[in-house]
């Protein structure tokens, strides 16, 4: 029904609470019984149990062909009582010796409306434990109420999620530091700022909000034992928005927005908006599935079906980015805007590096999903969350370095006059090259090399002066 990830007190990464990990069966009772056989089951009915069993050793402890104990099994010491879960263990040993922790759910009665008192048992071995609900008697159509709590030495956070808590704390500090640096540079050179630098500020802010929300979510879960729904949804939304805004920023920059053109055409904007909406929907589903895949033991096929659409969409976005970036660099090369060209060549190398690392991580993550959760639960968080955030931080830091505000920031921005001059200069150069050996007056071509129209205007003005002078003479 559910998977618990438990560290023994010895293996716990933190022991701040000062107690050993335990499982507590809290407020469990049975009501609304409809029996198969008469008479009514007595209050001592012990067929219904809730247990946690080690995942790695589950099928060695449970025989799927015979998982309920008989009276003979109880007599032989293989079970505590008849009609209970039969656990294969050495004769004379206890459930605790094989790391099985079971609780029998009693029927509610007028003198005991909430069943038995809470039962708390120390969990002594690190591992993944499966919550098992079993009914080995004749009772049917009944309702069990109550809760099963597992608490580690540091709190309620599952062992598979614990390392995310300090990770997002450090991530919040990184984004705070990056935001302070970017804000101080922006205030100092505020007259030189242009579109992309404003967008980078938004990305840093979204990264800070995302990291802080995830830190609050895991901290709250660790203290209360409840996965806060509102915080969970807000944290996932912040992750999705940060990702898609960052992708779209790189995409529109590669399309030349704010660099070689002042705005994008309506058709391109519609494509960008459509892709952004589709990404938000698919990535929200992906984040939700990845968050529940371990606790609810989701199948590999289902997880891959949720991962594949986002992976394909990421591939389409990166293909569009690289295609647009190639075209942009070619345009800058033709216009001889070498400073901008060097900037985007560096961006190209950064994106190639990021794509290579992300592809390797995704392939390993898919391979890792095929392995038993009892093997990978200690480190899976790093490849699912940690690696992507670290890679994003590196790319963001590189882009902040490339587009850092300074006294000459505007030379990377779109400038209509400069772009027109570059285009005319390139055309004039081609015209001069084609003229080649036919040019007798080098000074004339030197004049028209800058701008043919200026040369013609100057020549006409000179002719008019000469004519006026002749008439005066």
Q: Partners of 49 in the beta sheet? A: 104, 134
Query: Mean of the per-residue pLDDT values for the chain?
Result: 79
- In the chain, the percentage of residues whose pLDDT exceeds 90 is 23
Local structure of 24: helix, strand or coil: strand
pLDDT value of residue 15:
83
What does the alpha-carbon distance between residue 187 and residue 180 come to, in Å, rounded to a whole number? 11
Residue 182: exposure state from Cβ atoms within 10 A (0-12, 13-18, ≥19):
buried
Count of CB atoms situated within 10 Å of the CB of 296: 11
Q: Which string of DSSP letters, residue by residue, matches 345-361?
A: HHHHHHHHHHHHHHHHH
| Whether the predicted pLDDT of 41 surpasses 80 | no
Is residue 42 very low, low, confident or very high in pLDDT (cuts 50, 70, 90)?
low
pTM given for the model:
0.76
Local structure of 102: helix, strand or coil: strand
Is residue 408 very low, low, confident or very high in pLDDT (cuts 50, 70, 90)?
low
Alpha helices in 264-415 (DSSP H): 266-292, 300-335, 338-369, 373-376, 380-381, 387-402
Q: pLDDT higher for 216 or 463?
A: 216
pLDDT value of residue 455:
44
Local structure of 274: helix, strand or coil: helix
Q: What are phi and psi of 132, to 5 degrees?
A: -120, 130
pLDDT value of residue 383:
82
Q: What are phi and psi of 171, to 5 degrees?
A: -65, -40
Is residue 214 very low, low, confident or very high in pLDDT (cuts 50, 70, 90)?
very high
326's tokens: 């190639």
| Whether the predicted pLDDT of 163 surpasses 90 | yes
Burial 39-71 (b: 16+ CB within 10 A, else e): eebeeebbbbbbbbbbbbeeeebbeeeebbbee
pLDDT value of residue 259:
61
Instruction: List Cβ neighbours of 104 (8 Å cut-off, separation of 6 or more).
Output: 46, 48, 49, 84
| Whether the predicted pLDDT of 71 surpasses 70 | yes
For 349-388, the pLDDT digits (tens) are 888 998 888 888 878 877 776 777 777 788 888 887 888 8
For 169-197, the pLDDT digits (tens) are 999 999 999 999 999 998 988 877 777 78
- In the chain, the percentage of residues whose pLDDT exceeds 70 is 79
| Whether the predicted pLDDT of 473 surpasses 60 | no
pLDDT value of residue 292:
76
Over residues 405-415, the mean pLDDT reads 63
pLDDT value of residue 30:
83
pLDDT value of residue 452:
44
Over residues 265-282, the mean pLDDT reads 86
């Amino acid at each position: 029904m559910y998977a618990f990830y438990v560290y023994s007190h010895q293996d716990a990464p933190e022991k701040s609470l000062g107690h050993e990990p335990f499982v507590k069966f809290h407020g469990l009772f049975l009501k609304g019984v409809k029996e198969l056989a008469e008479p009514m089951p007595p209050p001592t009915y012990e067929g219904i149990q809730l247990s946690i069993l080690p995942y790695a050793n589950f099928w060695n402890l449970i025989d799927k062909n015979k998982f309920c104990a008989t009276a003979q099994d109880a007599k032989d010491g293989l079970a505590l009582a008849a009609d209970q879960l039969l656990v294969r263990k050495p004769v004379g040993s206890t459930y605790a010796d094989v790391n099985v922790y079971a609780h029998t759910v009693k029927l509610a009665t007028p003198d005991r409306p909430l069943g038995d008192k809470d039962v708390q048992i120390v969990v002594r071995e690190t591992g993944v434990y499966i919550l098992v609900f079993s009914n080995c008697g004749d009772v049917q159509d009944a309702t069990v109420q109550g809760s099963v709590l597992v608490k580690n030495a540091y709190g309620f956070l599952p062992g598979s999620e614990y390392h995310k808590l300090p990770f997002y704390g450090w991530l919040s500090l990184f984004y705070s530091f990056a935001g302070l640096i970017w804000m101080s540079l922006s205030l100092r050179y505020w007259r030189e700022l242009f579109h992309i630098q404003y967008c980078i500020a938004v990305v840093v802010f979204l990264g800070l909000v995302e990291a802080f929300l995830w830190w609050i979510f895991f901290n709250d879960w660790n203290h209360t034992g409840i996965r806060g729904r509102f915080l969970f949804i807000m944290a996932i939304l912040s992750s999705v928005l940060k990702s898609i805004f960052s992708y779209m920023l790189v995409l529109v920059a590669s399309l030349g927005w704010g660099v070689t053109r002042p705005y994008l055409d309506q058709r391109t904007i519609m494509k960008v908006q459509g892709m952004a909406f589709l990404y938000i929907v698919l990535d929200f589903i992906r984040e939700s599935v990845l968050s529940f895949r371990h606790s609810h033991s989701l199948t590999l096929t289902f997880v891959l079906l949720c991962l594949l659409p986002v992976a394909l969409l990421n591939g389409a976005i990166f293909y569009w980015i690289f295609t647009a970036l190639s075209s942009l660099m070619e345009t800058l090369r033709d216009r001889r805007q070498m400073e901008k060209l060097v900037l985007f060549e560096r961006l190209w190398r950064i994106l190639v590096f990021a794509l290579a690392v992300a592809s390797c991580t995704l392939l390993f993550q898919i391979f890792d999903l095929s392995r038993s959760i009892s093997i990978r639960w200690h480190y899976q968080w790093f490849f699912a969350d940690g690696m992507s955030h670290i890679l994003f931080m590196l790319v963001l830091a590189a882009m902040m370095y490339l587009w850092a505000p300074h006294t000459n920031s505007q030379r990377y921005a779109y400038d209509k006059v400069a772009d027109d001059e570059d285009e005319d200069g390139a055309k004039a150069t081609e015209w001069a090259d084609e003229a080649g050996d036919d040019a007798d007056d080098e000074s004339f071509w030197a004049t028209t090399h800058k701008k043919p129209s200026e040369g013609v205007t100057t020549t006409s003005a000179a002719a008019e002066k000469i004519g006026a002078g002749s008439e005066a003479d």
